[in-house]
Amino acid sequence: MTVPQSACLRAALQVGYSWLDRGSSALLAVEQAIRLLERSGLFNAGNGSKLQLDGMRRMDASIMEGNQLRAGAVASIEGIVHPITAARLVMEETDHVLLVGPSATQFAEHFKVERHRLRTPPRRLSYGAMLKLKRATRDGHGTVGAVALDRSGTVAAGASTGGIDRMLPGRVGDTPILGCGVYADNETGAVSMTGLGESIIRVAVAKEICERLAQGTTPTTAARLVLQKLVARIEGSAGCLGLTPDGRFAIRHSAPHMMAGWWDGRGKLIVRDRFP
């Protein structure tokens, strides 16, 4: 973990907790923490999003609260600094859950969600050339996310991503798909995922972790078992944040490293890049 990334994660935890400490909702705390990470340009989200093979940035995000199971998401949105806010607007201003592509961008612009100042011109590559380049590229990935619990006992989860290195135009990962990248339910808990989206989708990881929580499994054990399944069944790679309505939590990953942290407003604020 680089020093700027570590400092940014600490700042995000402090921002999120400051909202909770003032009595705000878990939903708002999650959104505000993720907004800081999106704006920083230090992570693969918002200003730091990776380019797709045609040279464009297309981003995904989702947010969900556990009381009424309200949720909103955007996929393949372009030119927006804060996709997480666009996702929340989908939840609050429409009766939909997911908007995609140019229509999602138009929706965000209508509500004056901040736009990127720097625009990257598209690359002039044939689709065949993009496919060849895709096969020759080793993908990296990364997602920012947060989970929170407020004074009312409501949990919330959110995630925002720029996808993976050199992805095909229109590729969508797990982040905007409820039950895969994000899920929140006051009867079980809140989960936010990072990792290779294609593998997370195939196992519906976030929902499966929540289902194990419903059966009485601890957050640490639930996360460990589902990540083990991901590796054993499809050689997937992921990390997760999990939080129950009674305040128990887990940070687990099957990849060698995952930058993450936690804070309950008391004691030491924890940020590191490996959680056993």
Which residue carries 């969900």 as its tokens? 64
Q: How far is CA 188 from CA 28, 34, 202, 205, 220, in A?
A: 20, 22, 21, 14, 14
DSSP helix/strand/coil, 22? coil
Please state, in angstroms and rounded to a whole number, the distance separating the CA atoms of residues 143 and 108: 20
Two structure tokens written together for 140 = 């990296």
Please state, in angstroms and rounded to a whole number, the distance separating the CA atoms of residues 255 and 234: 14
Please state, in angstroms and rounded to a whole number, the distance separating the CA atoms of residues 139 and 132: 14
Q: Is 44 exposed, middle or buried (0-12, 13-18, 19+ CB in 10 A)?
A: buried
Query: Which residues does residue 249 pair with via DSSP β-bridges, in sequence order?
Result: 243
> 244 an active-site residue?
no
Two structure tokens written together for 135 = 């096969």
Backbone dihedral region for residue 112 (phi beyond 0: left; psi -120 to 50: alpha; all else: beta): left
CB-hemisphere CA count at 13 Å for 161? 31
DSSP helix/strand/coil, 262? strand
Two structure tokens written together for 21 = 């400490």
Two structure tokens written together for 266 = 């008391």
Annotated active-site residue in 143, 175, 194, 244: 143
Give the residue numbers annotated as catalytic, written as ranges.
143
